């Protein structure tokens, strides 16, 4: 009898010790016990897509399509002009060297810049609207460049200033579509007139020259953009070195003029 009482007492003490060992220390209880959720791992996001202690990561908003331009199936045209736009609600602009071609092949049309002697740029505008390309506004370029070519985004804002993106679409062996969120890009101001910056210049400025030269870092106002387009910021290198743009598209909001 005494032995059974002794064994029962030992069993009770062992179970009590196990319960105490598994319980959290006094005053340290878990977050759930204190009414708080457990802290997320570093870099984790909550159900709203927000990182702990910070704002939302990106945006769920999808910018609506403003236009998508595919060149017309017209015969070869050099230099390119308004008739090459499939969307005649847009206005065509060709800056710098005018020898940019709209090619014509049995299955595809695209720009050919191989015969340009100086820099060039192509943009389009809408006579009725500016474009708000802030936030999630973006542009898509469909390119198949050859040679050391990078096709950059070019914009003109409502205040008459021009900018070019540091980022661009490079050489590829097949057509590739690349989307650029404009607010994520790194921008440079774009010199569009042959204007000296100081009085010590020795060369006389040429008013007929359109340099299209990137300059200092810049932050354009994307809420009111007048023109969008592209350039590789280089003269042509014949067929081995040219920018080929098959189509491009713009996403954002229209702002009535």
More confident position, 150 or 3: 150
**Who wins on pLDDT, 52 or 17?**
17
- The H helix count followed by the E strand count for the chain is 1, 15
pLDDT level of residue 32 (50, 70, 90 thresholds): very low
Q: Are the C-beta atoms of residues 133 and 102 closer than 8 Å to each other?
A: no
Predicted local confidence at residue 197, as pLDDT: 77
Does residue 157 contact residue 224 with C-beta atoms inside 8 Å? yes
pLDDT at 57: 75
Q: Note the pLDDT tens digit of each residue in 73-127.
A: 989 999 999 999 999 999 999 999 999 999 999 999 999 999 999 999 999 999 9
For residue 51, pLDDT over 80 is answered with no
Q: pLDDT value at position 56?
A: 53
Q: Tell me what pLDDT residue 43 has.
A: 33
Please tell me the predicted confidence (pLDDT) of residue 10: 42
Q: Extract the tokens encoding 176.
A: 């590739």
pLDDT at 30 over 80: no
**Which DSSP string do the residues of 6-57 spell out, in sequence order?**
HHHHHHHHHHHHHHHHHSPPTT---TTTTT-PPPPPTT---TTSBPTTS-BS
Q: What is the per-residue pLDDT across 185-239, written as a single tens digit (0 to 9) for each? A: 999 999 999 988 788 888 889 999 999 999 999 999 999 999 999 999 999 999 9
Please say if the pLDDT value at position 41 is more than 90.
Answer: no
Q: Above 90 in pLDDT, residue 33? A: no
The pLDDT of residue 24 is 42
- The per-residue pLDDT for range 134-192, each reduced to its tens digit, is 999 999 999 999 999 999 999 999 999 999 999 999 999 999 999 999 999 999 999 99
pTM over 0.95: no
| Of 7-21, 31-45, 74-88, highest mean pLDDT | 74-88
> For residues 233 and 189, what is the distance between their CA atoms, to the nearest angstrom?
13
Q: Is 191 helix (H, G, I), strand (E, B) or coil?
A: strand
Secondary structure element (H or E) that encloses residue 3, with its range: helix 2-22
Over 51-93, what HEC string results?
A: CCCCCECCCCCCCCEEEEEECCCCCCECCCCHHHCCCCCEEEE
For domain 65-199+206-256, the CATH superfamily is Galactose-binding lectin (2.60.120.430)
pLDDT at 45 exceeding the cut of 70: no
Asked whether the predicted pLDDT for residue 28 surpasses 60, the reply is no
What number is the average pLDDT over the span 235-257? 97
Average model confidence (pLDDT) across the chain: 84
């Amino acid at each position: 009898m005494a032995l059974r009482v002794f064994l029962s007492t030992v069993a009770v003490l062992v179970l009590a010790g196990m319960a105490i060992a598994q319980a959290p220390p006094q005053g340290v209880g878990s977050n759930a016990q204190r009414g708080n959720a457990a802290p997320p791992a570093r870099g984790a996001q909550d159900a709203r897509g927000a990182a702990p202690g910070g704002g939302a990561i990106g945006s769920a908003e999808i910018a609506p399509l403003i236009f998508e331009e595919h060149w017309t199936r017209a015969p070869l045209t050099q230099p390119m002009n308004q008739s090459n736009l499939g969307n005649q609600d847009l206005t065509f602009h060709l800056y710098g060297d005018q020898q940019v071609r709209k090619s014509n092949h049995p299955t595809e049309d695209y720009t050919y810049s191989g015969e340009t002697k100086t820099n060039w740029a192509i943009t389009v505008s809408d006579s009725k609207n500016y474009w708000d390309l802030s936030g999630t506004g973006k542009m898509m370029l469909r390119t198949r460049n050859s040679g050391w070519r990078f096709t950059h985004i070019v914009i003109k804002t409502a205040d008459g200033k021009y900018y070019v993106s540091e980022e661009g679409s490079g050489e590829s062996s097949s057509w590739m579509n690349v989307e650029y969120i404009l607010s994520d890009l790194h921008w440079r101001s774009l010199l569009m007139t042959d204007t000296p910056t100081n009085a010590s210049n020795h060369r006389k400025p040429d008013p007929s020259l359109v340099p299209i030269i990137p300059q200092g870092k810049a932050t354009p106002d994307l809420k009111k953009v007048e023109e969008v387009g592209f350039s590789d910021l280089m003269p042509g290198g014949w067929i081995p070195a040219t920018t080929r743009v098959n189509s491009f598209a713009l996403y954002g909001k229209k702002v009535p003029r």
